[in-house]
Structure 1
Amino acid sequence: MHRGFELFIDKTAFEKSYYDLAIEAGKKRYDNAKVNIRSTLDSFISKNGKLDGSKMQANWFPQVSADIFISHSHQDEDLAILLSEYFHQTFGLTVFIDSCIWGYANDLLKLIDDEYCLNSSGETYNYTKRNYSTSHIHMMLSTALTMMIDKSECVLFLNTPNSITPNEVITKTKSPWIYSEIAMTSLVRQKPLNEYRVKKITESFSEGGEIRKGLDFEYAINTDHLTSISKDILLRWKKEWDYEGKKYTPDYSKHALDILYSITSKNNRYEYFEK
Structure 2
Amino acid sequence: MDIAFRTNTTVINQLAGMVSENDVKAIALQRLPFKKKMRTLVIPSDGIIKGDTLKDAYFPSGLFDGSNYDVLISHSHNNEKEAHLLAAWLKKYKKLSCFVDSFAWGSADQLLKEIDDKYCYCKHRKTYDYKKRNFTTSHVHAILSMALLETILRSKFCVFIESSESVPLNSGLKKKTLSPWLYEEIKYMQLLQPQRKTKMFSEGLEKAISDCKIAYDVTDISQFPFLDYKDFANFNNGSLLLD
Q: Would the TM-score normalized by the shorter structure come out above 0.5?
A: yes
2:4 aligned with 1:7? no
Aligned-residue CA RMSD in angstroms? Answer: 2.2
Quick one: distance in 1 between partners of 2:188 and 2:227? 20
Quick one: distance in 1 between partners of 2:158 and 2:149? 11
CA shift for structure 1 position 95: 0.5
| Contact kept? 1:70, 1:96, Cα under 8 Å | yes
Quick one: distance in 1 between partners of 2:125 and 2:117? 9
Quick one: distance in 1 between partners of 2:185 and 2:210? 25
2:36 aligned with 1:32? no
Pairing 1:143-154 to 2, within 5 Å after superposition:
143-154=146-157
CA shift for structure 1 position 58: 1.3
2:21 aligned with 1:42? no
Quick one: distance in 1 between partners of 2:140 and 2:191? 22
The runs of 5 or more residues in structure 1 that have no matched partner are 191-210, 238-255, 269-275
2:30 aligned with 1:51? no
Pairing 1:105-254 to 2, within 5 Å after superposition:
105-121=108-124, 123-169=126-172, 170-188=174-192, 213-221=210-218, 222-235=220-233, 237=234
Q: 1:31 to 1:49 in 2, by over 3 A?
A: same
CA shift for structure 1 position 44: 4.4
Quick one: distance in 2 between partners of 1:41 and 1:179? 30
Give 3-state SS (helix, strand or coil) of 1:171's partner. strand
Quick one: distance in 1 between partners of 2:209 and 2:75? 21
Give 3-state SS (helix, strand or coil) of 2:6's partner. strand
Which amino acid is 1:177 matched to?
W
Question: TM-score, length-normalised on structure 1?
Answer: 0.73
Aligned to 2:236: 257
CA shift for structure 1 position 257: 2.8
CA shift for structure 1 position 174: 0.8
Q: CA-to-partner distance for each residue in 1:59-96, whole Å, 9 max, x for gaps?
A: 10112121000000011111011011111111111110
Which amino acid is 2:155 matched to?
S
Q: Percent identity?
A: 28
Q: CA-to-partner distance for each residue in 1:224-249, whole Å, 9 max, x for gaps?
A: 431122223224x2xxxxxxxxxxxx
Give 3-state SS (helix, strand or coil) of 2:158's partner. strand
Aligned to 2:200: none
Give 3-state SS (helix, strand or coil) of 1:229's partner. coil
| Contact kept? 2:6, 2:162, Cα under 8 Å | yes
Q: 1:145 to 1:174 in 2, by over 3 A?
A: same
Give 3-state SS (helix, strand or coil) of 1:42's partner. helix
Q: CA-to-partner distance for each residue in 1:149-186, whole Å, 9 max, x for gaps?
A: 00000010111111002442320001111100010012
Q: CA-to-partner distance for each residue in 1:166-213, whole Å, 9 max, x for gaps?
A: 4423200011111000100122365xxxxxxxxxxxxxxxxxxxx994
CA shift for structure 1 position 38: 4.1
Quick one: distance in 1 between partners of 2:45 and 2:124? 29
Quick one: distance in 1 between partners of 2:112 and 2:60? 17
Q: 1:186 to 1:167 in 2, by over 3 A?
A: closer
Aligned residues: 221
Which amino acid is 2:14 matched to?
A
2:42 aligned with 1:71? no
Quick one: distance in 2 between partners of 1:107 and 1:35? 14
Give 3-state SS (helix, strand or coil) of 1:156's partner. strand
Quick one: distance in 1 between partners of 2:116 and 2:190? 34
